[in-house]
Amino acid sequence: MSNKVIHAIYNDDDILMDAVKATRAAHHHIEEVYTPFPVHGLDKAMGLAPTRIAIASFLYGLVGLSVAASLMNYVMIVDWPQDIGGKPSFSFIDNMPAFVPIMFELTVFFAAHLMVITFYLRSRLWPFKAAENPDVRTTDDHFLMEVALHGNEDDLISFFKNTGAVEVKVIDKH
pLDDT tens per residue across span 52-66: 889 999 999 999 999
What's the mean pLDDT in 2-22? 92
Q: Among 67, 134, 33, which residue's Cα sits nearest to residue 41?
A: 33
**173 within 8 A of 2, measured Cβ to Cβ:** no
- State mean pLDDT over 93-101: 86
Q: How far is CA 39 from CA 126, 129, 141, in A?
A: 25, 25, 13
Residues 43 and 96 in one domain: no
User: What would the pLDDT profile of 68-94 be if each residue is shown by its tens digit?
Assistant: 999 999 988 888 887 777 777 778 888
CA torsion 59-61-66-68 (nearest 10°) is 160
Q: Specify the number of domains making up the chain.
A: 2
- The confidence score (pLDDT) of residue 83 equals 75
- DSSP class of residue 168 equals E
Tell me, yes or no, whether 127 lies in a domain: no
Domain that holds residue 63: 53-122
Share of the chain above pLDDT 90, in %: 61
pLDDT over 60 (residue 1): no
Asked whether residue 128 is domain-assigned, the answer is no
Element spanning 145, H or E:
strand 143-148
42 in a structural domain: yes
Q: Is residue 21 part of a domain?
A: yes
